[in-house]
């Protein structure tokens, strides 16, 4: 609309991740290694699974729904098998998967893997500021860069006195830890409380890494629930907290974007789909039609995560 785009453009590539049961790939620490074609692959243990990634291929499909295909999976599995010849992973070992897109700034003559992941700022003659490239994990630094640039320009022009960007001093909610030791001790405390409630203590790490010290609130709420299934009580308590505090409006917000359960705990989503949807229906007063629509979306998400396209 500004008619200022010229020269550089976005180059979209796809990266996929595969989730494997921990007993099939029992690494204790994160790993990062080079494979035969020169690319780097990572392996990361997380709760009861291990996940691996990632590919880097040009993408021209539906940007809203990138999917993992079997070729992607075989590429990553071969990479891991090459590093660990005795593991012998195959596609049947993959319990879930997902794909994401990278908005790279195109550089002529470079392959997808060679293009820089850095973010860039473009300022048009009219003053429109645009940012492209970068990674989701760097969103605060990207925001800081733009805010600082604008603040400097306003000060330079003598139009306004403005404070420097403060994002480096603003803690994410739930983060009151000053060391990794404090995190470990807090997890142990949550683990003991979960044991008292007859909930597997493996959920302690899951809760703390998702919610920090707000895990206290979720665990405390469990005591007020009457369900006989202890894991259902945890799930409902967690969902109630997310509906009230975490901008969760739809089931996919909860199972995918906020908790990652769709990938790392997919068995709990398959097992308790209707219980999750029932909470939404009761809280948000869904109609029967809305319930059916949201249920279909959840089942599609499970199918896409479980299967290759």
Q: What is the CATH number of domain 10-105?
A: 3.30.9.10
**In whole angstroms, what is the distance from residue 83 CA to residue 4 CA?**
48
Distance between CA atoms of 304 and 175, rounded to whole angstroms? 33
pLDDT at 36 over 90: no
**Residue among 139, 105, 106, 12 at smallest CA distance from 66:** 12
The structural domains of the chain, with segments of one domain joined by +, span: 10-105, 119-169, 175-242, 247-309
pLDDT band at 123 (very low <50, low <70, confident <90, very high): confident
SS3 content of the chain, % helix, strand, coil (to 5): 45, 15, 35
Residue 296 parent element (H or E): helix 288-306
The pTM for the full model equals 0.88
Residue 31's φ and ψ, nearest 5 degrees, are -130, 155
**Nearest alpha-carbon partner for 4 in 106, 134, 122:** 122
Q: Is 179 helix (H, G, I), strand (E, B) or coil?
A: coil
Q: Is 79 exposed, middle or buried (0-12, 13-18, 19+ CB in 10 A)?
A: buried
For 98-122, write each residue's pLDDT tens digit.
Answer: 999 998 888 777 777 777 778 888 8
Q: What residues does 19 pair with on adjacent strands?
A: 51, 96
Q: Which run of H or of E encompasses 139?
A: helix 139-156
Residue 8 has pLDDT above 80, yes or no: no
| Contact in structure between 182 and 24 (CB atoms under 8 Å) | no
Residue 160 confidence (pLDDT): 67
């Amino acid at each position: 609309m500004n008619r200022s785009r010229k020269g550089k453009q976005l180059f979209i590539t796809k990266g996929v991740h595969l989730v494997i049961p921990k007993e099939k790939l029992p690494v204790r620490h994160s790993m990062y290694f080079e494979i035969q074609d020169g690319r780097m692959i990572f392996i990361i243990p997380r709760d009861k699974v291990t996940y691996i990634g990632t590919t880097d291929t040009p993408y021209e499909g539906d940007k809203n729904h990138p999917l993992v295909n079997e070729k992607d999976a075989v590429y990553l599995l071969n990479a891991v098998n090459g590093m660990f010849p005795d593991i012998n992973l195959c596609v049947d070992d993959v319990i879930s998967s997902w794909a994401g897109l990278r908005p790279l700034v195109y550089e002529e003559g470079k392959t997808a893997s060679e293009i820089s992941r850095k973010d860039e700022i473009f300022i048009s003659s009219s003053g429109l500021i645009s940012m492209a490239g970068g990674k989701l994990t760097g969103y605060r630094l990207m925001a800081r860069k733009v805010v600082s640039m604008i603040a400097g320009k306003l000060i330079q022009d003598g139009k306004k006195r403005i404070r420097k960007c403060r994002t480096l001093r603003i803690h994410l909610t739930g983060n009151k830890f000053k060391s990794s030791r404090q995190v470990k001790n807090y997890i142990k405390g949550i683990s003991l409380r979960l044991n008292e409630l007859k909930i597997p203590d493996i959920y302690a790490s899951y809760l703390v890494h998702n919610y920090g010290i707000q895990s206290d609130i979720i665990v405390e709420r469990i005591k007020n629930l009457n369900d006989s299934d202890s894991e259902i009580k945890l799930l409902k308590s967690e969902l109630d907290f997310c509906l009230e505090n975490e901008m969760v409006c739809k089931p996919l917000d909860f199972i995918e974007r906020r908790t990652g359960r769709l990938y790392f705990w997919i068995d709990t989503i398959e097992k308790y789909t209707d219980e999750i949807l029932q909470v939404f229906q009761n809280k948000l007063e869904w109609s029967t039609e809305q319930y059916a629509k949201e249920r279909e979306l959840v089942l599609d998400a499970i199918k896409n995560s479980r299967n290759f396209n």
